[in-house]
Chain A
Amino acid sequence: MDATAMQDAETVITKARLGDPVALEALYRAYSGPVYNLARRICRTTEDAEDVLQETFFEVCRSIRNYRGDGSIWGWIRSVASSKALMRLRRNRYRETDELDAEYVPSAKEASPGLRMDLEAAMDRLTVTARAVVWLHDVEGYTHDEIAEQMGRTVSFSKSQLARAHSRLRVWLGDEATV
Chain B
Amino acid sequence: MTTSHLTMEQLLAVRDGDRSEPAYADAHQHVGECDGCRLELDRLHQRTARLRALPRMTPARNQFPAVRTRVVAERRQRRLRAVGIGGLAIAASLALVVMGRDLVQPNRLDAEQQIATAKSESQQLEQKLHDWDPQSRVLNSRAAVMVMEIEDRIADLDVRLAQTQESDRQLVLWQQRVGLMNTLVEVHLTRASNVGF
Binding site for B on A (CB under 8 A): 19, 21-22, 24-25, 28-29, 32-34, 36-37, 40-41, 46, 49-50, 53-54, 57-58, 61-62, 119-120, 123, 134-135, 138-139, 159-160, 162-164, 166-167, 169-170, 173, 175, 178-179
Contacts and interface: CB of A to CB of B under 8 A. Distances in A.
Interface of A is mostly: helix
A170 B41 CA distance: 11
Interface string B144-157: 11001100100000
Contacts of B26: none
B154 to A, nearest CB: 13
Given A119-B54, A159-B12, A138 B60 contact: no
20 contacts: A19-B152, A25-B64, A28-B63, A32-B59, A32-B63, A32-B64, A37-B57, A41-B57, A50-B60, A53-B63, A57-B63, A57-B67, A62-B74, A139-B48, A162-B12, A163-B7, A166-B11, A170-B8, A173-B47, A175-B47
Nearest to B49: A138
B49 to A, nearest CB: 10
B39 interface: yes
Nearest to A140: B52
A46 B68 CA distance: 21
B158 to A, nearest CB: 14
A163 B9 contact: yes
A178 B59 CA distance: 39
Interface residues of B, number: 36
Interface string B1-42: 000000111011000000000000000000000001001100
A145 to B, nearest CB: 10
10 smallest A-B Cβ distances: which pairs?
Answer: A163-B8, A36-B59, A40-B57, A163-B9, A21-B148, A28-B64, A57-B67, A54-B63, A167-B8, A61-B71
Contacts of B7: 163
Contact of A179 (B12, B36, B61): B36
